[in-house]
Amino acid sequence: MEFSDVENDLAEILLTEEEIHAKIEELARAIEADHQGEKILLVGVLRGAVMVMADLARALKVDIEMDWMAVSSYGAGTQSSGVVRILKDLDSDLTGRRVLIVEDIIDSGLTLSWLRANLESRGAKTVEICALLRKPDALKVEVDVTYIGFDIPNKFVVGYGLDYAEQYRNLRGVAVLAPHVYE
């Protein structure tokens, strides 16, 4: 759906579909350059990373593999709890693999720092991170991110896979959710 379809629920438009797609092409070129001759295993973090995974995978001009994990660090609210649970694990063996975690957003960084350590412990050759969005002012732990799309303000955003209570994931762009929706 378009911004205009949920206009009253949005406080501010941050990124259009066109801006996101242009950035994903850029990220794809950088990823290709860094992995020449080596097959990449993209690990998408469900459910928020579905859109970035689908677009990034198609932007890459090399053969890749995709696998998925589901973890939970949020309840229905808008604050990270810091407690990470695996809801769905990978099907792939990571031994010797070059793994690229594909994430929608880095907020506190708690989810990704936990996830990277978890995947590294499975014997991957490298575990790197590609995140479309990052909120620098919300970081609670340092996360070494190899590929980052956009740094955004410390506000709750929705769209392009990101939800509030499972809504707005199918919004084409990214927007700040109006506080009246969750207050």
| Residue 24 binds ligand IMP (CB under 6 A) | no
Residue closer to ligand IMP, measured from CB, 94 or 158: 158
Nearer to ligand IMP, 31 or 152 (CB): 152
Q: Is residue 93 helix, strand or coil?
A: coil
Q: Using N-to-C axis directions, what is the helix angle for 50-59 and 17-34, rounded to 10°?
A: 60
| Binding partner of residue 107 among Mg ion, ligand IMP, none, CB cut-off 5 to 8 Å per kind | ligand IMP
Would residue 107 show up in a list of annotated catalytic residues for this protein?
A: yes
**74: contact with ligand IMP by CB under 6 A:** yes
- What is the closest distance, in whole angstroms, from the C-beta atom of residue 105 to ligand IMP in the complex? 5
Separation of alpha carbons 20 and 16, rounded Å: 6
Q: Which of 53, 56, 145, 162 binds ligand IMP (CB under 6 A)?
A: 162
Among 107, 144, 151, 163, the one annotated catalytic:
107
For the chain, the distance separating the N- and C-terminal CA atoms, rounded to the nearest angstrom, is: 24
- Under 8 Å between Cβ of 177 and 6: no
- Token code pair at residue 42: 């993209």
Taking the C-alpha atoms of residue 68 and residue 55, their distance in angstroms, rounded to an integer, is: 15
CB closer to ligand IMP out of 33 and 100: 100
DSSP lists the bridge partners of residue 106 as 134
Query: Rounded distance, CA 170 to CA 164, Å?
Result: 11
Q: Does 108 bind ligand IMP (CB under 6 A)?
A: yes
Provide the binding-site residues for ligand IMP, judged by CB under 6 A.
Answer: 45, 48, 73-74, 80, 103-112, 156-158, 162
Provide the binding-site residues for Mg ion, judged by CB under 5 A.
Answer: 45, 48, 104
